[in-house]
Amino acid sequence: MSFQNDLIDSIKIGHELDVQKLARQLVPLISLPALNPDVDTEQIQALCKTAITPVGSVATICVYPQFVETTQNFLQDTPIQIATVANFPYGDMPLDFVIEKIEKAIEYGANEIELVWPYSHFLAGFGNKAQEFVQNCSLTCAHQVPLKVILALNEFPDLESASEAARLIIQAGADFIKTGTGLKHSSLRLCVISKLLSIIKEEDHTVGLDLTEEISCLTQVTEFLDLAEKMMGPAWISHETLRFSSVELLTLITQHLDS
């Protein structure tokens, strides 16, 4: 039986959740965003200090482009990667401008690029234009850093249109789909995650999924892990294909470990 299924079964029969085991698996899957509009260097430094825990280090810290070099200094001698954003947060910037920003971010040391999907173009009926936008950005990142495309689920009127966009994003060459910018709060819904996983499985099993939704308890996370393992296989549960962009999740884990 898989590790995740062991955890789910222990919950179902009323046993205590093995927080140590869960923490060791979850912490390396966490990305810590520092994307509040008023974020400053001191806040980023404080966040970096939380990124190394007794059970391991988080996968990445995501900052605005102007903080990439400073964050590198804070994370020296650690395995933590630095992600930065492009076309953020509304997905409405000119392509040439975005490509220039991506090139500079890579030059400054960014290890991952998080690009907001041009959802306004897509919702206005210009899906091909939105897909070409991502294709060009993917070519800019090619063989240098992974491209994570932010779907911005909250902007879609229904799951059907969001699913169509997810397919176009994968076909355009994205390495990851991220569900949202993290600036708007929404709950983690297994039905939505299941749909996105099914699309990834159909289109390209190697594409990753990054969840930005609110997580209220660790039991909720084990339910998602169980779903992901059943749909994608146990090898897919790694930092290369699964992330949780959530400071709150790390705080929740830390609180459980300290209690």
Q: Check residue 9 and give its pLDDT.
A: 41
- Across 7-21, 40-54, 119-133, least confident range: 7-21
Phi, psi angle pair for 159, to nearest 5°: -70, -30
pLDDT reported for residue 16: 58
Q: Are 82 and 60 in contact (CB under 8 A)?
A: yes
Pairing type for strands 81-86 and 208-211 reads unpaired
Distance CA 164, CA 122 (A): 10
pLDDT at 10 over 70: no
pLDDT at 244 over 90: yes
Averaged pLDDT for residues 9-16 = 40
How do the residues of the chain divide into helix, strand and coil, expressed in percent and rounded to 5?
50, 15, 30
Give the CATH number of the domain where residue 115 resides: 3.20.20.70
**Domain membership of residue 191 as a residue range:** 3-258
- Mean pLDDT value across the chain: 92
Give the span between the Cα atoms of 94 and 166, in whole angstroms.
Answer: 21
pLDDT digits (tens, 9 = 90+) for 140-164: 998 799 999 999 999 999 999 999 9
Over residues 111-122, the mean pLDDT reads 98
Is the pLDDT at 13 greater than 90, yes or no?
no
- Count up the domains in the chain and report the number: 1
pLDDT category of residue 8 using cuts at 50, 70 and 90: very low
Q: Is the pLDDT of residue 93 over 70?
A: yes
pLDDT at 11 over 80: no
pLDDT for the residue numbered 129: 98
pLDDT at 259 over 80: no
**Rounded to the nearest 10 degrees, how much is the dihedral formed by the CA atoms of 149, 154, 156, 160?**
80
Among the ranges given (12-26, 117-131, 176-190, 235-249), the one the predictor scored with the smallest mean pLDDT: 12-26
Among the residue ranges 152-166, 173-187, 239-253, the one predicted with the least confidence is 173-187
**Confidence (pLDDT) at 176:** 98
pLDDT at 71: 98
Q: Which whole number is the average pLDDT over 21-40?
A: 96
pLDDT of residue 6: 41
